[in-house]
Amino acid sequence: MSAPAVDAASLGSERRLLIDGELVEASGGGAFDNLNPATEEVLGVVADGTREDMERAVAAARRAFDTTSWSTDADFRRRCLLQLQAALEEEQELFRSELVAEVGCPMLTTWGPQLDIPLKDALTWPAEMIDQFVWRRSIGPRDAFGLGSFTEREVWKEPVGVVGVIVPWNFPLEITLNKLGPVLAMGNTCVVKPAPDTPFNATRLGRLIAERTDIPPGVVNIVASSDHLVGEVLSTSPSVDMVAFTGSTATGRRIMAAAAPTLKRVFLELGGKSVNLVLDDADVPAAAGGAVLASCFHAGQGCAIPTRLLVPRSRYEEAVEAAAAGIAGLAYGDPSDPSNFMGPVVSARQRERVLGYIATGRDEGARVVCGGGVPEHLPRGYFVEPTLFADVENSMTIAREEIFGPVLVVIGYEGDDEAVRIANDNDYGLSGMISSGDLDRARSVAARIRTGSLGINGGIWYGADAPFGGYKQSGIGRQCGIEGLEIFTETKTVGWPVAPGEN
Ligand code: NAD
């Protein structure tokens, strides 16, 4: 399959912010560059939103929530979501080329979670669920004080209010849509802040919302900025009810602390250091080869990517050899070439971070089996060689911290109990994989691993209907699924007197 032809002039063609229904320049008139990480060239410029722009956007979202029928008119919301879906589909190929250019993600990732999967269900599933969602349920009458006076009670679900949506650069449109769909379906209004590295998908989305849908002014606002701290307005403003964030655990902590004085609800989808656990009855070489593909997917820049390969000690060298062979056969380079499995990492800063972790791995005594540097054949762009570390102890930094680069570490274990102990011996608990010849055995090991999702024998749990999020320091709350709708609601319990037996 080759990449569809797209008019290069239309890429990055929208630089403006969306505030209160208008596409506008930044209040200070500033703009910042958007770089292509595969070429280091400037793709275009984007309006550089200021604190003042963010405050205007928050005020617009507040007004739209408090003074319009958006939160109560479910039919209208469904219609608007489907209008936006149609508009996204019309520009699907432009989104594809733009994502490859600004994120540096390989074309093949756009056929999956980077674009085509969210375009299939991130808005449509929540739109369909508006009718099926249990907005009100009776919990029955009760004589609470035992005085013979019965109260009929109902539990109502209502929108939270204004939601600040803060998005990282690794799967920017996917993460935006998987928040926007539930946020809007549940009747909230929002302000979206894209990551400075990947603003074009967000400004394109803003233009489509403004020009192609009936979504009322202020319901969705999109404020790009080169300054991370402009996002802090969302965690501190008393006019914002909730922050929904995906990104690093360090930033998640900062957001939670900043949100504390106003007791905002927080949904946090944070980092991971997930395991790829190969049980001793699995096809070890096949599982190790698969682990390479999983860990190098999008150059390792995914929070759910399993980057700790756990193999039985008796099969250790066999697994390392199979993983090394997998890396040797991995095509990488220009992300717009569909034959490349892997592209660059997103920025020079990110590459430095990844190379820093590789240096630490060497210093702490792990063995670099392959990779470990910058590929000589790719002098331009922020490329990192796919890297395999053996002789890794779970106590080493490269086994404990999220690297967010194409780095796989191999750790040996004796028996299932030790495998489970190592899997759980980490601050994170986001995802993981298990391979086994026996599904029941794999399921019982899965039940012992403290993590928010697990794929067994290559099973893919992902989708708009599947809750996703972390145990432990991988986050709070779930995105997608019924849990991902409920998280954007408040709960109100209402009661009124009834005679015994009447309801
Ligand atoms: P980050 O967490 O710092 O940024 C994510 C988003 O939060 C961006 O939109 C950013 O502008 C915004 N932000 C940053 N500081 C903020 C603040 N104080 N208040 C409000 N918003 C704020 O991620 P990054 O700097 O782009 O990447 C750093 C590391 O984070 C990566 O190396 C990787 O390990 C990790 N990361 C994880 C995920 C994930 O999905 N878990 C995604 C991206 C990055």
Q: In CATH, what number is assigned to the domain containing residue 207?
A: 3.40.605.10
The binding-site residues of ligand 1, defined as CB within 6 angstroms of any ligand atom, are 166-170, 193, 195-196, 228-229, 231-232, 235, 246-248, 251, 254-255, 270-271, 303, 350, 353, 402, 404
* Whether 201 and 321 share a structural domain: no
Q: Is 460 exposed, middle or buried (0-12, 13-18, 19+ CB in 10 A)?
A: exposed
* Whether 40 and 111 share a structural domain: yes
Mean pLDDT of 393-404: 98
Q: What is the pLDDT of residue 466?
A: 98
Mean pLDDT of 179-195: 98
Query: Which residues span the domain enclosing 186?
Result: 17-135+159-270+476-490
* Whether 383 and 317 share a structural domain: yes
Beta-strand runs (E) in 316-452? 367-370, 387-390, 407-413, 428-429, 432-435
| pLDDT above 70 (res 490) | yes
Look at residue 496 and tell me if it is in a domain.
no
Nearest 5°: phi and psi at 198? Answer: -140, 65
The pLDDT confidence band at residue 8, using thresholds 50, 70 and 90, is: low
* Whether 320 and 409 share a structural domain: yes
Ligand 1 pocket: which of 34, 46, 166, 201 to mutate (most atoms <8 Å of CB)? 166
| pLDDT above 50 (res 2) | no
Look at residue 52 and tell me if it is in a domain.
yes
Q: How many domains does the chain have?
A: 2
What's the chain's average pLDDT?
96
* Whether 259 and 369 share a structural domain: no
Look at residue 501 and tell me if it is in a domain.
no
Look at residue 467 and tell me if it is in a domain.
no
Q: What is the pLDDT of residue 302?
A: 98
Look at residue 144 and tell me if it is in a domain.
no
Q: What is the pLDDT of residue 254?
A: 98
Q: What is the pLDDT of residue 12?
A: 75
Mean pLDDT of 350-378: 98
pLDDT digits (tens, 9 = 90+) for 76-125: 999 999 999 999 999 999 999 999 999 999 999 999 999 999 999 999 99
* Whether 264 and 279 share a structural domain: no
* Whether 313 and 439 share a structural domain: yes
* Whether 262 and 405 share a structural domain: no
Look at residue 348 and tell me if it is in a domain.
yes
Residues 185 and 75: beta-carbon distance below 8 Å: no
- Cα 16 from chain centroid (whole Å): 24
What CATH number should be reported for the domain holding residue 294?
3.40.309.10
* Whether 131 and 49 share a structural domain: yes
Look at residue 497 and tell me if it is in a domain.
no
The pLDDT confidence band at residue 13, using thresholds 50, 70 and 90, is: confident
CA 383 – ligand 1 centroid, Å: 20
pLDDT digits (tens, 9 = 90+) for 301-330: 999 999 999 999 999 999 999 999 999 999
Look at residue 411 and tell me if it is in a domain.
yes
Ligand 1 pocket: which of 174, 251, 350, 354 to mutate (most atoms <8 Å of CB)? 251
* Whether 333 and 439 share a structural domain: yes
| pLDDT above 50 (res 3) | no
| pLDDT above 80 (res 289) | yes
pLDDT digits (tens, 9 = 90+) for 211-236: 999 999 999 999 999 999 999 999 99
Ligand 1 atom nearest the C-alpha of 255 is: 19
- Look at the pTM and tell me if it is higher than 0.85: yes
* Whether 292 and 217 share a structural domain: no
Q: How far apart are CA 128 and CA 185, in angstroms?
A: 9
Q: What is the pLDDT of residue 101?
A: 97
CA 10 – ligand 1 centroid, Å: 28
* Whether 237 and 368 share a structural domain: no
Ligand 1 pocket: which of 175, 222, 228, 298 to mutate (most atoms <8 Å of CB)? 228
Q: What is the pLDDT of residue 55?
A: 98
Is residue 269 among the annotated active site residues? yes
CA 248 – ligand 1 centroid, Å: 5
